[in-house]
Amino acid sequence: MAANDFLAETPENFEQKCLCILVLDVSGSMIGNPIQQLNEGLQRFKQQVMNDEIASQRLEICIITFSGRVACIQEPSLIHNFEMPTLKAGGSTALVDGLRRAILKVTTRKNWYKQTGQPYYRPFVIMITDGEPDADQDVKGVSQDIDIRVDNKEFLFFPIGVQDANMDVLRQLSHRSTPPMMLRGLNFNEFFQWLSNSVSVITKSKEGDKVNLPDTSGWGQIAI
Amino acid sequence: MAKKKQKLWVVVGDSVMGLNHVKNNIPCQDSHLYEEMENGWGIAIVADGAGSADYSHQGSQFVVKEGMSLFKKIVTENKWTTSKKLPEQDKWHKLAKTSLKQLRNMLAKEAKQTNKELGQLASTIMVAIFSPLGILCTHIGDGRGGYSNSKGEWKPLFTPWKGEYANETIFLTSDIWADKEVNKFVESKVINEKPFAFTLMSDGLEMHSFECSVWDEKEEKYYDPNRPYQKFFNPVVNGLVQMKQNRMTDDEIKGKWNKFLREGNEKIKNEPDDKTMIIGAYFPNGTS
């Protein structure tokens, strides 16, 4: 640096954390191309986050899958600390159980942040599904719960439909601030690019009543 | 011939776009202004527009411009520049609160005249009235402020207001004024210690210049000591003083400062949020 320039050392501060929970449908209807595209999208997402120095230090990813059963296959973790799993599809669609697990995960992780004094952002819950929830799934109950929690700013909820998803169900589940989106074709790569950009926006702008997220036209359309 | 007003401070400040604003073509939502008045008294203001508000860049510009007029009026009307002591805490807090509320009402009027919602102009505000006797500060929202004494010890000016989330704060436009607990949101302080230097900044630079998230061994958790980082500020102030002593012009110094805020080091360069910082250093014998 030239003489007469300003010089300074910067302190070591612990980075704020942004929890992003992916609630992914791995039921039988996802077998074949859909699950393959989703897996490729996840790999792309990992690469995009790794290339963003700030997001890679702030974003904690948690992956919950649902088919006939629900599994948290990736506990909240920074992108550098885990290998993106390869998902396999099969079974029925316990969609509501998957969402319940995600809501519980939001609460426990936020408690952990509070207990350890870690600053954090409003978590994201992203649900991707292509099907119809099983008959025993209490869609009405969980949708009421989501409404209250999103109103209370506990998290942001984005329901994404793929191919033959029942958009009436997604509309019922969604909060008015973030209507359900329909993925155009199997455009997971563009979707995950958008998600990566959105996380950047959330972690870099001030909280307000409105969330200004990047344009979604590259991958989806609002379900009408 | 009229005697030229002698300056006792060298002050530099700038607002530059963060990386995220550059990438997404969002205007710089930070604004700042500073002005030295007389006898070593002056005013510095920083405002940070809400990322979620469509016209917050206009809001922050309005806030610093009109805020400067309001606080200059207070200094002049109270004849502080010729006073031997700073006002009492209570008096300053009442004056600051009244002025900030007036500023909020002016912003509401501006919103109405330009067919906008008040919330679309949401902005924070930080004010430091600096003098050879000490500093008067007030603020609403986040951002950081600090000052150093003659021993080169840096101390915080105020505590940023943070909500549950790291990026959550309140604004001049927030619904805080009717609240009986408005004093929770408007913080004002009288610093009765002779300052050697001071700073005000938007939160885009806090992680690079303040210790604000560090590990507490005893409590075994992270906490925010709100501590200006001496290894950041002392070299910066020394650089500023040397530039002035080397007879660089204000424009040349500002050019150097702009470069520093844009790309001073890798962390600053990669900062996604807008970056504003004002630094002032006291020259008791005058700057020229």
**pLDDT tens-digit readout, B16-34:** 998 877 877 788 999 999 9
CA atoms of B221 and B120, how far apart (whole Å) = 37
Q: Which domains does chain B have, with CATH numbers?
A: 9-282 (3.60.40.10)
Cβ-contact B161, B142 below 8 angstroms: yes
Q: How does pLDDT run across A79-125, given as a tens digit for each residue?
A: 999 999 999 999 999 999 999 999 999 999 999 999 999 999 899 99
Q: Give Cβ neighbours of residue A71 (< 8 Å, ≥ 6 apart).
A: A64, A65
* pLDDT score at A203: 59
**CB proximity under 8 Å: B 109-128 to A:** 119, 122
**Structural domain spans, chain A:** 28-205
Among the partner residues B209, B211, B256, nearest to A4 by beta-carbon distance: B256
Q: Which of A48-52, B157-161, B207-211, B238-242 has the lowest mean pLDDT?
A: A48-52
Torsion of CA A77, A14, B214, B198, to 10 degrees: -160
Q: How far is A149 from chain B (nearest CA, A)?
A: 14
pLDDT band at A224 (very low <50, low <70, confident <90, very high): very low
| CATH of region A28-205 | 3.40.50.410
Chain B residues in contact with A6 by the CB 8 A cut-off are 235-236, 239-240, 256-257, 259-260, 264
Q: Distance (Å, rounded) from C-alpha B10 to C-alpha B22?
A: 30
B2 or A127: whose pLDDT is higher?
A127
Collect all residues of chain A within an 8 Å Cβ-Cβ radius of residue B246: 4
Say whether A4 and B265 touch across the interface (CB within 8 A): no
Whether the CB-CB separation of A14 and B214 falls below 8 Å is answered with yes
Q: Is residue A1's pLDDT more than 50?
A: no
| pLDDT at res. B26 | 82
Distances (CA, A) of A2 to A83, B256, B264: 43, 10, 12
Closest partner CB to A207 (pick from B163, B240, B267): B163
Burial class (CB in 10 A: 0-12, 13-18, 19+), A178: middle
pLDDT digit string (tens) for B118-157?
999 999 999 999 999 999 999 999 999 999 998 889 999 9
Provide the shortest C-alpha distance from residue B139 to chain A (in Å).
Answer: 17
The answer to whether the Cβ–Cβ distance between A7 and B259 falls below 8 Å is no
What is the three-class DSSP state of B197? strand
Shortest distance, CA A83 to any CA of chain B (angstroms): 26
Name the nearest CA neighbour of B19 among A205, A56, A189.
A205
Average pLDDT over chain A, rounded to whole? 87
**pLDDT attached to residue B4:** 57
CB contact under 8 A, A204 and B51: yes
Cβ-contact A188, A39 below 8 angstroms: no
Considering only alpha carbons, which residue of chain A is nearest residue B261? A6
Q: B273, A204: Cβ pair inside 8 Å?
A: yes
Would you state the pLDDT for residue A219? 67
The pair of structure tokens assigned to B137 is: 């500060």
Percentages helix, strand, coil for chain B (3-state, rounded to 5) are: 35, 25, 40
pLDDT per residue over A147-206, tens digit each?
999 999 899 999 998 877 888 999 999 998 888 888 877 677 788 777 777 776 665 556
pLDDT at position A96: 96
Residues A136 and A103 sit within 8 Å (Cβ to Cβ)? no
Q: Do A206 and B50 touch (CB under 8 A)?
A: yes
Q: Which residue has the tokens 């209490």?
A: A138
Identify which of A82, A83, A122, A128 has the alpha carbon closest to the alpha carbon of residue A106. A122
